[in-house]
Structure 1
């Protein structure tokens, strides 16, 4: 028994290991090792006032993400994939800007590991996409992927996944199309729809049933704002979307999109 405890303590005491970030931005993948990123001339110390994942002020060694996105233009589309299957879909434009909201890749130094994200949980490392002054760019919590393993240059969501597109003929500024944009920004990182999408984290939002088919809309609205207010369980992972992240108008548009897609199921 004593030997088992010693071995367990030794395992828990192992230092964070160096990691590899894969960038798929062109013909051949680019691989960055932790050590090389920490030594990069643009890597610097930054402070995050209100970290989305840690819920407090944090300090990181980080590099402007734009410094790594060689050949990427503002019109391109990127996907950051985490170790657990979380897949954040992000237009490249905000990731390339140098202010006022700026994207950074925080790098976990094996010699100075970050704290765990909760009791018994790993840290946000080895790589974590963080933002300085996120409010200036209306940055969603889903645009703060942690435990990032790769960043890929891909076609836009509507082009890659036609099964989640609204019916043709709707105006670009219709609530349904606006809601589709909200869905891509805030939901697609965790959920698929009509079986389409790269996320491996949450359930499909149209098959077999759309949440608008089994939730009264007012309760669905409350669920999106604060999931634990309707369903409480310790393993819950869905975050709440406050009005500062998802305005009432954006929430209305999201519900309009989901209602619309309930009538456009594709197996």
Structure 2
């Protein structure tokens, strides 16, 4: 028994293990090890005020994400895939910015592990996409994927998932199409719609029913603003989309897209 307790104590004392991040770009693929990223010549200490995941100021060792994405243009499209199936769709333009809202890949040092996200949960590591000055770029919570395992370049959402598209007769600047853009930015990382999408976290938002069909009055908007205020359960993962992240006019556009798609159901 004594030997067992000693062994258990050693296991508990072990630091977080190193990890690897796979980058799959059209023209090149590379796997980065934790140690290599921590020693990257452009790695530096960054302070994140009001961190989206930790809800407080955090300090990380991080690398500007743009330097890890050689050859990409503003029109490129990426997907960050997390260990839990969260799949954030990311346009490259904001990721490549050198000023204003700037994207960083925070790297968890096994010798100095980050705190747990909540009781009984792991940290945001091993890799976490964080932003300095996010307000300058209107960055949403879904653009802060954590526990990242892979970042890959893909075709756009519209090209990969035609079942998500609004009526093609609508003008490009129609409010419904504007809502579709907001859906990609704020919802597609966790949800599918008409069975289309890569996320495996939340339910489908159209099959068998759209939330616009079972949330009466303004309850859907209230739910998006603060999910726990409408229905509360400890395992809930959906974040609150405050007006600073999703202004009222954008929330209206997003709900308009969902209402439109409720009439365009397609079985997976």
Q: TM-score, normalised by structure 1?
A: 0.96
Q: How far apart are residue 113 of structure 1 and its match?
A: 0.8
1:66 aligns with 66
Q: CA RMSD in A?
A: 1.4
Distance verdict in 2 for CA 1:114–1:177, change over 3 Å: same
Aligned partner of residue 203 in structure 1, secondary structure: coil
User: CA separation in 2, counterparts of 1:165 and 1:133?
Assistant: 32
Aligned partner of residue 150 in structure 1, secondary structure: strand
Task: State the Cα deviation string for residues 24-46 of structure 1 (Å, max 9, x = none).
Answer: 00255210001111111000111
1:40 aligns with 40
Task: State the Cα deviation string for residues 182-215 of structure 1 (Å, max 9, x = none).
Answer: 1000000000000000001000000011111111
Q: How far apart are residue 7 of structure 1 and its match?
A: 5.3
Q: How far apart are residue 11 of structure 1 and its match?
A: 3.5
1:232 aligns with 232
Task: State the Cα deviation string for residues 67-102 of structure 1 (Å, max 9, x = none).
Answer: 000111111111111010100101100000111110
Deviates more, 1:205-214 or 1:3-12: 3-12
Q: How far apart are residue 6 of structure 1 and its match?
A: 5.5
1:93 aligns with 93
1:215 aligns with 215
Distance verdict in 2 for CA 1:6–1:264, change over 3 Å: farther
2:153 aligns with 153
**Number of aligned residue pairs:** 267
Distance verdict in 2 for CA 1:11–1:156, change over 3 Å: same
Counterparts of 1:4-153 in structure 2, within 5 Å, are: 8-153=8-153
1:260 aligns with 260
Distance verdict in 2 for CA 1:112–1:53, change over 3 Å: same
User: CA separation in 1, counterparts of 2:150 and 2:47?
Assistant: 24
Q: TM-score, normalised by structure 2?
A: 0.96
Q: How far apart are residue 147 of structure 1 and its match?
A: 0.5
Aligned partner of residue 63 in structure 1, secondary structure: strand
1:188 aligns with 188
Name stretches of at least 5 consecutive residues in structure 2 with no aligned partner: none
Name stretches of at least 5 consecutive residues in structure 1 with no aligned partner: none
User: CA separation in 2, counterparts of 1:224 and 1:10?
Assistant: 44
